[in-house]
Chains A and B, each alone.
Chain A
Amino acid sequence: METFLQQLINGISQGSAYALIALGYTMVYGVLRLINFAHGDVYMVGAFAGFYIANSDIVQGTLGTGVAAAIVVMLGSMAVCAVLGMLIERFAYRPSRGASRFALPFWLGILGASLGQMIGGNPVALGIGVLAGVVVGIALERAGLRPVTKSSHLSLLITAIGVSLFLENGGQLAFGADPKFFPEIIPTANWQLGPLRIDSQRATVLIVALLLMAGLTFIVNYTKTGKAMRAVSFNLDAAKLMGINTDRIIAFTFALGSALAAAGGILVSLLYPRIDPLMGIMPGLKAFVAAVLGGIGSIPGAMIGGLIIGMAEVMAVGYGQSTYRDAIAFVILVLILLLKPSGIMGKGITEKV
């Protein structure tokens, strides 16, 4: 029994992490009807951002360990990922919604950076590469090469896959492909709550996850921006007609979702300090399953879905075999899609002919 409760606590903390990532998926799907495959990698970037912040002199020197350090790390990484999310939305997904003049220079600049770094290997080459790329991009854009709007749904998905690949492999280049270890930010302490043994890290995860989810629910349900988000996810065109700046709202949604993913990344790194550039692939996919399980587009659904997947996994590993761990999420996915595709909290939408 004691082991069971222990595993339950493990499951809830694992599930909270999935829930935080799932929220980002579900919000973006709500406004854009897009499965943002790059989301799991944003989680990874969040963990790394936190890693570098935590290792920086500011934290190590002045703040040491403790709540203050944790807050700095968390907020810093959330800010980084919010920006990253907005960049991705602006330069990868928005071009298909409307002609974006900066998409081409942006991507060619990045390509230039990559080629410059590859050939030269020093910051000068990198700089030249970026400059060359941007210049060529602007020239081509002036010459008439514009993004294709009204592209198919599938091409947007592949764009997402492309961004995901970019983040993963770019991460391997930037951070190195071997795993790094998150320094200890929360001082280790153990408490005995009856039969359960809970450590400070796990407690932090649970508390912070709860706070964030509560915060998100507040934003979505009680603020004007939140209302706008809900309007956009209900019907984009109608929202536009109502005077909502849909582009701004979508950008905000991405920022919010990415910040939550970053938080998820930090929380998971507290529990399992090993981070590497490919760490986002599986959790991203499972968080997506969680979002679907809860009903894609539904925020409480994502939370519930995350918790269920987390617990199911931990139980499977604890009482079964660890090699089947990855399959659990997918089996649940298949079952829910066959039994109730709209998910636990979702409403079935009838297709009008």
Chain B
Amino acid sequence: MKKALIIVAAFAVLIGLQMTMRDFVGAYNYQIVVLVGINIILAVSLNLINGVTGQFSIGHAGFYAVGAYTCALLVSTIQEPFRNATGSLPEIAQDTLLLLIGLAAAAIAAGLAGLVVGIPSLRLKGDYLAIVTLGFGEIIRVVIVNVEAVGGSRGMTGIPALSNFFWVYLFVIVTVATIHNLVYSSYGRAFISIRDDETAAEAMGVDTTRYKVLAFVVSSMFAGIAGGLFAHFTMYLHPNSFLFITSFYVIIMIVVGGLGSIPGAIIGAVAVTVLLEAFREFGAFRLVNFAIILVLIMIFRPQGLMGGLKVFKPRSRAAVTK
């Protein structure tokens, strides 16, 4: 009963915010808030594979891209017949269904991509895994550049505006809740054991490959959902938004926030997104200042904002943050 009440309350809050936020903070800040939400999904999902399972992946932008383009392409293609078929429903219901179908496709496609990338790659460790995921991310992007159906290197326009604050933050909640529950389950303990000492875990009978791939696929599925939400929010996709620098930005988010910690990933995502937007005032100096501050943080607080903060008493014996 309590759970149901919480869910209803959450919905109410989200819907309320959705209807009022744009007038309250202005269209530009509204956009930033939504982008923060999308980045939170990306950061929390990447954190699952990098922070919790300790597998160093720099290919997140690839799954993000797969999700974004799959969703956009599918919705753009089926939009007309779908709307004709469901003409009787109110438009908001049509939009909702279209978006959910698109996001489901995005998640599946990105998850499949995660499987394809993960299975061969996860035999590698450390820097090698990092490089190979980087490579896969770039390959995905170059393939997209060559697909004419999504506009190739000229970008994809005309994507219907289906996602907004409500949807993005709904999925933020879904993502955080799912991953949180995953981490605090037996799966999570397996992930953490792999991070802490893979050889020992293997020796203790943990099927490390299975768990690593699982973490990878779950992580990429959420990245795909983030991609779909992104596509239908900006209504425009260009492969330049999915360069490896985007993967770097997500990594920066989780490290700055505190690797391994879910609240850390959230804070990191908010901090980095907001900082990058706020620095737009600086014009050409924007990324220069961002870079200097990043280096300073890494030199003086490499564990991130939430890292090592013993604010948290874990329910189980396993410590989530290192």
Contact = CB atoms under 8 A, between A and B. Distances in A.
Contacts of B135: 289, 330-331, 333-334, 337
Contact of B255 (A110, A145, A154, A163): A154
Interface in B110-142: 120-121, 123-124, 126-128, 130-132, 134-136, 138-139, 142
Interface string B132-154: 10111011001101100000110
Interface of A: 33, 35, 92, 95-96, 103-104, 107-108, 110-111, 114-115, 117-118, 145-148, 151-159, 161-166, 168-170, 172-173, 177, 285, 288-289, 292, 296, 321, 323-324, 326-327, 330-331, 333-334, 337-338, 341, 351, 353
Given A165-B290, A323-B145, A330-B139, A337 B124 contact: yes
Residue of B130, B153, B291, B296 with most chain A CB atoms under a 10 A cut-off: B291
Nearest to B128: A341
Given A155-B302, A334-B139, A337-B128, A117 B285 contact: yes
Nearest to B146: A323
B13 interface: no
Given A158-B294, A166-B292, A292-B128, 17 more contacts: A96-B299, A110-B292, A114-B285, A118-B285, A154-B50, A155-B302, A163-B291, A165-B290, A168-B287, A169-B286, A285-B134, A285-B138, A288-B131, A323-B145, A324-B142, A327-B138, A337-B135
B120 A338 contact: yes
A229 to B, nearest CB: 20
B153 A323 contact: yes
A341 to B, nearest CB: 5
B interface bracket (residues with beta carbon within 8 Å of A): 35 or more
Given A107-B292, A114-B285, A351-B199, A334 B252 contact: no
A75 B253 CA distance: 40
Nearest to B322: A152
A168 B130 CA distance: 22
A151 B199 contact: no
Nearest to A35: B127
Which secondary structure dominates where chain A touches chain B? Answer: helix
Contacts of A155: 255, 298, 302-303
Interface of B: 50, 56, 120-121, 123-124, 126-128, 130-132, 134-136, 138-139, 142-143, 145-146, 152-153, 199, 244, 248, 251-252, 255, 259, 282-296, 298-303
Contacts of B298: 151, 155-156, 158-159, 162
A154 B252 CA distance: 10
Contacts of A151: 298, 302-303
B124 A341 contact: yes
Contacts of A288: 131
B289 A115 contact: yes
Contact of A148 (B127, B128, B302): B302
A292 B131 contact: yes
A353 B295 CA distance: 34
A21 B255 CA distance: 28
Contacts of B123: 338
B114 to A, nearest CB: 15
Nearest to B293: A111
Contacts of B252: 158, 161
Contacts of B288: 114, 165-166, 169-170, 173
Q: In this complex, which of B56, B199, B294 has the most chain A Cβ atoms within 10 angstroms of its Cβ?
A: B294
A113 B251 CA distance: 28
A159 B295 contact: yes
Contacts of A324: 142, 146
A292 B136 CA distance: 15
A323 B287 contact: no
A159 B259 CA distance: 15
Given A115-B289, A323-B146, A330 B296 contact: no
B295 A337 contact: no
Contacts of A159: 294-295, 298-299
A323 B142 contact: yes
29 contacts: A33-B127, A104-B296, A111-B292, A111-B293, A115-B285, A115-B289, A117-B285, A147-B300, A148-B301, A154-B255, A155-B302, A159-B294, A161-B294, A162-B291, A166-B288, A166-B291, A169-B291, A173-B288, A285-B134, A289-B135, A321-B146, A323-B152, A326-B142, A327-B139, A333-B135, A334-B132, A334-B135, A338-B120, A341-B128
A169 B276 CA distance: 14
Nearest to A328: B142
Contacts of A146: 300
Nearest to B58: A157
What 4 A-B pairs have minimum CB-CB distances, sorted nearest first? Answer: A155-B302, A151-B302, A166-B291, A327-B142
Contacts of A117: 285
A103 B292 CA distance: 12
A148 B300 CA distance: 5
Contacts of A118: 282-283, 285, 289
A333 to B, nearest CB: 4
Contact of B295 (A163, A169, A296): A163
Contact of A107 (B259, B284, B296): B296
Contacts of A35: 127, 130-131
A334 B136 CA distance: 7
A326 B138 contact: yes
A95 B291 contact: no
A286 to B, nearest CB: 10
A297 B292 CA distance: 29
